[in-house]
Structure 1
Amino acid sequence: MSSSELQRNRAVLPMSTVRELTLLTDRQIRYYEQHELITPKRGKGGQRRFSLNDIDRLLQIKDYLDAGDSTADIKELFAKAERKNQAQLGTDNSLRRSLQDEFAQIARFNNP
């Protein structure tokens, strides 16, 4: 994971900032959390802390709802995307292992 991706995953934004950035209400954000569309981290005292990726996801949710999708539809869309990402990650890891094996064989030929 790149350093910029790590920064995007840092949960540091409070609810008030998220409200301003997304134009969603506290109630809407809590509702999306209740329906497991988002999972913000919790800070000391239990306050929700959001990352930039959480903001992106909330904006996606808002767009899907504006387009007429239900929360169940959105949850399934996110689940499908996650399964696709996991499958791609598995393919990437398989390819990486295959390349490592090839490099090991080449090294054995070069150093008998």
Structure 2
Amino acid sequence: MEYKDRKAMPLFPISIVSELTELSARQIRYYEEKSLVTPLRSEGNRRLYSFYDVDRLIEIKRLIDEGVNLAGIKQVLKLKEIQIQEKQVTEQQKPKEQKRDLTEKELHELLRRELLESGYLNNSSIIQGELSRFYH
């Protein structure tokens, strides 16, 4: 099971979510009624919330505390979902970078350049020819 799937698993009852979000059960049910959050239901018809639901409720609480009304919150959440979807589409469309192995000559040149930039090759404590086995 992927990490993303685990965060979407409905795990928490409303009492735990209430403690985590510092929202009352009534507030949480109200946000559900307004379609701001949609918990899954257990076989016994109990609400079960995922990590994503908890994050969303915390975001709703933050926006309410900032004075945003429900219509504004719906717009903010809708825009965030659109941004996430666009990001996912963009990432899927990006061509995968083809990594190639360095040749031995390229590897030696890279090592030499890094040693020069670090000042290691200019250090007088280096014994002449100490690195000669790498550069032939």
Which TM bucket (shorter chain)? 0.7 to 0.9
- The one-letter amino acid paired with 1:92 is E
Query: How does the TM-score come out when normalised to structure 2?
Result: 0.66
Q: Which residue of 2 aligns with 1:106?
A: none
Q: Equivalent residue of 1:37, what SS? A: coil
Partner residue of 1:52?
Answer: 51
Q: Which has the higher contact order (CA 8 A, sep 6+)?
A: 1
CA distance in 2, matches of 1:64, 1:80: 14
1:63 maps to which residue? 62
Q: Percent identity?
A: 36
Asked whether 1:78 is paired with 2:105, we answer: no
The gaps in structure 2 that reach 5 residues or longer are: 99-136
* Alignment correspondent of 2:41: 42
* Greater per-residue helix proportion: 1
Give the alignment's Cα RMSD to 1 decimal.
2.0
Q: Secondary structure at the match of 2:44?
A: helix
Number of equivalenced pairs: 99
- Establish whether residue 11 from structure 1 lines up as the match of residue 10 from structure 2: yes
